[in-house]
Amino acid sequence: MGAFTDPSVRQCHLLLLLGLVLKCSPVTWAQSNDNIPLGCGQEVDSLYYNLCDTATIWGVVLEAFAAAGVVSCFVLVIVLVASVPFITEKKKKSTVGLQVGFLLSTMGLFGLTFDFIVKKNFATCASRHFLFGVLFAGCFSCLLAHCVQLNLLVRKDRGTRGWILGLGALALWLVEVIINTEWLILSLVRPSNSSSTPLDPCSIANMDFAMALIYVMVLLLAILVAGVPAQVGQYKRWKKHGVFILVTASFSVAIWVTWIVMYVYANRKLNKLSWDDPTLAIALVSNAWCFLLLYIIPELCFLTKDSQPQQNYSETLYTNRGVGYENILKEHSPANMFVENKAFSMDEPSSANKPVSPYSGYNGQLRGCVYQPTELAIISKGGGEHSDMQSEAILPRATMSTQLMGGTNSTIRAEDVYSETQPHSTSNGNTFYSKAHW
């Protein structure tokens, strides 16, 4: 006991302990640094190493694309909602709710990508198996409801209301929610026959995961089947929207066939089990970006444009309502032309007659156009010079007098000529003189 109580002995013991600590600590520090991948900090949990590990570059690349997709979906939702007051067609406005739901589901797909990048545990595996089918079902349900609307618009130019389309898409989506919920309960929560502990969600076979998505595949095939008839109809302005859906569904089918073959068969055949998570993450990101680039962005471009056919009133006005004589002949029938020409001839002389000149001996009128009463007409009307003078007053004739012709005046007035040729008659001592009325 005295040796241990000696101060010098205590100092030796402390120095030995300190030396051991200093000797062992660099080894421990090096070992701990060796477990941290390049690009990650010491405070990062090992569960999230794939998000920052530069050695496994697929996680960093997919993380960047998924983050850009989340931001893009958020911006597109704001743009879509802000464009509602500028939509002029009510038929396009009825699909805005479907497109908002589609964008929210697509944003969920981008977010679910991070779940496949991080490492597996009970929470991540359960969320993977449940949300994968639910989010894809939300996207495909909105596309299928839009296909039904387009089939009605192409044939009748009249679709259903927006709330009916929303309820239809919601009903199709809830079917997948019920299927996945029941599948997870039966697979995970209920204990197996051999043990009393529930199964680990990460131990679910790849084939079982693919079989649980059969309903989502049925929705995808229904979109293709419903999109083809949308290209047949008399209202062609709606067909381009059907083309957007058909192209999106075609790319989705190609992506789904690829990842199912890789996930179920090819990775096992190549003995690359570590490729399972990258396969599903790439499928999520690629399909979500196809949704944005091939469907949402083209729909937003045509959302505020008025696609109703408008009649060119200015063209019809100036081509059919011209003032030329040939346009009048085109517009009017012969009966109308006769009435118009007849009314027009009451104010002007006939187009076949020449204008009457008071300075020539010939009045320019045809004999048949001038009223010349016969003797019988004069007798029946009372006869005499008064009738002749009345007829002469009504239809005067300009003739050249020989007396005036022999005069020195070079200018002859019509009144002088008429006064020379007009007879003077007396009745009861009064002189009757009729002057021409021009």
pLDDT at 354: 53
pLDDT at 78: 95
The whole-angstrom distance between residue 429's C-alpha and the CA centroid of its chain comes to 98
CA distances from 323 to 200, 317, 341 (A): 88, 11, 16
pLDDT at 133 over 50: yes
Fold of 46-303: Rhopdopsin 7-helix transmembrane proteins (1.20.1070)
pLDDT at 193: 54
User: Who contacts 425 (Cβ-Cβ below 8 Å, separation ≥6)?
Assistant: 385, 389, 431, 432
CA distances from 284 to 106, 109, 433 (A): 9, 6, 114
Q: What is the pLDDT of residues 214-236, one digit of tens each?
A: 999 999 999 999 989 888 878 88
Residue 79 one-letter amino acid = V
pLDDT at 431: 44
Q: What is the pLDDT of residues 189-215, one digit of tens each?
A: 665 555 556 667 788 888 989 999 999
Contact status, residue 101 vs residue 138, Cβ threshold 8 Å: yes
The C-alpha atoms of residue 265 and residue 257 are separated, in whole angstroms, by: 12
Nearest residue to 252 (alpha-carbon basis) of 286, 210, 275, 296:
286
Higher pLDDT: 100 or 59? It is: 100
Residue the block writes with tokens 């529930």: 198
pLDDT at 4 over 50: no
CA distances from 235 to 150, 152, 238, 240, 304 (A): 10, 10, 6, 11, 19
pLDDT at 85 over 50: yes
Kindly report the three-state secondary structure assignment for every residue of 382-426: CCCHHHHHHHHHHCCCCCCCHHHHCCCCCCCCHHHHHHHHCCCEE
Q: How confident is the model at residue 28 (pLDDT cuts 50, 70, 90)?
A: very low
Domain residue limits, the chain:
2-35, 46-303, 374-438
Q: What is the pLDDT of residues 352-396, one digit of tens each?
A: 455 555 555 555 555 555 556 676 767 776 555 444 444 444 445
Lowest pLDDT segment from 161-165, 180-184, 323-327: 323-327
Q: What is the pLDDT of residues 290-340, one digit of tens each?
A: 999 999 999 999 888 766 554 444 444 444 444 454 555 555 545 444 444
pLDDT at 88: 84
